[in-house]
Structure 1
Amino acid sequence: MSHASVLTAAQMRAAEQAAFDRGVDPYALMECAGKAVAQIIWRAGHRRDLLVLCGPGNNGGDGFVVA
């Protein structure tokens, strides 16, 4: 697994807003994030049942894509 930079919540909000300002669809970002997490789970060898809990907001939307 590669190491990625960890962003603060404020940095992530700014990055998302910059993407939205350039016309990126919020649902496209959600799909991208969810697929990336699903790939990490798969590559880590988790091939059995997995519980994904999703709350409100964009993080919950990411979780629905993972599931």
Structure 2
Amino acid sequence: MVGFLLWLLLLVFCWPLALLALVLWPIVWLISLPFRLVGITLHALFAFLGALLMLPARVLRGRPA
């Protein structure tokens, strides 16, 4: 909601820039999409590696003494 109000404010004071932002936003979103997918993949990979490395410690901690 705040973003929309800021865009309306930009439209009132500088309408060419507001229209340019309206046209370019989907293009910027499409360009950034592969980077987001790489980030999600790397996050999942590091979470998997962390869980894999911590597995022996969890198994030993769960064993009764």
Common topology (TM > 0.5): no
User: Comparing both structures, which one devotes a greater share of its residues to helix?
Assistant: 2
* Higher RCO, 1 vs 2 (CA within 8 Å, ≥6 residues apart): 1
Larger-gyration structure (1/2)? 2
Q: TM-score, normalised by structure 2?
A: 0.30
Q: TM-score, normalised by structure 1?
A: 0.30
